[in-house]
Amino acid sequence: MSEKPADSRVNRRTVLQGVGSAVGVASLSNVVGAAERKRRIVTGRGGLKQEPVEKKKVPVQWHEHEKALRQVYNQLFGALQHIRNNSQFGDHLIAMYQDGSSRSIGGYTATQPVIEIAEEAPSGLEEQLPSVLEDVGVSVSNDLLLNEIQYERINHNKTLLCGGAETTIEPYPGGIVIWEKNQSTHQGTAGYRMHDGNKEYMLTANHVFVDNCTTKATGEVAAAANNATIGTFEDAHALHDWCLVPANNQGITDIANEIYWDGYSYTLTGYKTRDGIASMVDKTGEAYKSGDGTGYRTGTIRGYNEGGFTGCPRFDTDGVKTEVDIAPGDSGGPIFALTGCSYGSCEALAINNMSIAKGSYNGTACDGDSTQPKTVGWPAYKIVNNNPYTVG
């Protein structure tokens, strides 16, 4: 816009006309205390019966804040979609996620909504967008401790450690190359083992094997190193972008309960719950990623309840937001955590699905292509909660 509005608060409300009228909002406290009361939450599950394998005590105040923010997140996501579809600067809005704020509650970072803006967006765009939840007509409870909306412009550089295309065939682990049989253009990375009773599957991204996001990869044949057959996909979800190939006598007969990462094998013990992922937000280097495109990386969980602005796949507000480079070939690869496990063990967080960044970056993939530094993955706990499979 040519001029900065005289009253940015009024202008923000004008921008959001049609989204919904503002409603009464309880007073929000700007003071986050030491949070003396504690609550024990389940942060990791595993085993055939998905038993709790990891728990921790967290401040009640922090836990209630995170739950309250989740309750209003869909409303906010819808409002931002409306802005993106109906305003002249909508193309500059890349994604929305829950990121750590500057406020700590008993040692835990309180998250807040963050909207990512393209680096090339017009100067002053942030001042013309809603600054607090009230501006988008969101009703919040007293448990929500901060109502600000943060804006971030993307400009990140990364150094990559390559080597994700190892050629181990059987037992077949996560974190190594996987592709469509006899189709060299369709290549990704194996995720992690899942099982349904005694039957083992390898998880990866659906879009590695199909060109149309409305088509499931069931019936497609997956291959490992040297075009060796793994098997035929039996189950998939096109929009959530995952698919499962079973071990069978037509190909790989043993899928390993391991993630191959930088020369080491890490035993997969289960998965992080949504509360477990929330407790990891903003803790640097606790997300581990392996991919054929960018190799081995550690990075930061920047949020959960991610809603990437993309038509395919469509995560709405369910994705896990990470700050680890991604490039073609990484799709379907594992994102996992060592936190809370003994050395050599890990819990699944998500798989590599899509980048939500735009523009040019200095990061370089293993083949020399540029990388995208912000990614969204479909979480393991969502697959487990909505299907008869579990991880490990």
Give the model confidence (pLDDT) of 102-134 as tens digits. Answer: 888 888 888 888 887 877 888 888 888 888 888
CB atoms within 10 A of CB 340: 20
**Torsion (CA) 303, 208, 334, 69 in degrees, nearest 10:** 20
> Domain extents for the chain?
8-13+33-153, 172-391
First-residue to last-residue Cα distance in the chain: 52
pLDDT of 284 > 70? The answer is: yes
Task: Show the tokens assigned to 204.
Answer: 């990866």
Domain 172-391 has CATH 2.40.10.10: yes
Are the beta carbons of 225 and 169 closer than 8 angstroms? yes
Side chain identity, residue 83: I
Task: Show the tokens assigned to 75.
Answer: 């409303």
Helix H, strand E, coil C: the string for 71-109 is HHHHHHHHHHHHHHHHCCCHHHEEEEEEEEEEEEECCEE
**In whole angstroms, what is the distance from residue 111 CA to residue 100 CA?**
4
- Distances in whole angstroms, Cα of residue 27 to Cα of each of 37, 129, 134, 139: 22, 22, 11, 11
- The residues near 154 (Cβ < 8 Å, ≥ 6 apart) are 94, 116, 117, 118, 119, 357, 358, 359, 373, 374
- The residues near 341 (Cβ < 8 Å, ≥ 6 apart) are 44, 54, 269, 347
Q: Which of 91-95, 254-258, 337-341, 356-360 has the lowest mean pLDDT?
A: 356-360
pTM of this structure: 0.69
Selected residue with higher pLDDT from 153 and 38: 38
Of 114, 110, 112, residue with least CA distance to 126? 114
Q: What share of the chain has pLDDT > 70, as a percent?
A: 76
Task: Show the tokens assigned to 279.
Answer: 């407790």
Segment 378-390, tens digit of pLDDT? 999 999 999 999 8
Are the beta carbons of 128 and 5 closer than 8 angstroms? yes
Helices then strands, each counted (H, E), the chain: 4, 24
Most confident of 79-88, 244-253, 338-347: 244-253
**In whole angstroms, what is the distance from residue 392 CA to residue 258 CA?**
8
- The 187-189 sheet, strands edge to edge: 187-189, 177-180, 221-223, 229-232
Unique residue bearing structure tokens 């599950």: 45
Segment 5-21, tens digit of pLDDT? 333 333 443 343 334 33
Of 110, 115, 139, residue with least CA distance to 127? 115
**In whole angstroms, what is the distance from residue 35 CA to residue 206 CA?**
43
Task: Show the tokens assigned to 39.
Answer: 């609550």
Segment 225-263, tens digit of pLDDT? 667 888 999 999 998 999 999 988 777 888 888 887 766
Element (H, E) at 64: helix 60-86
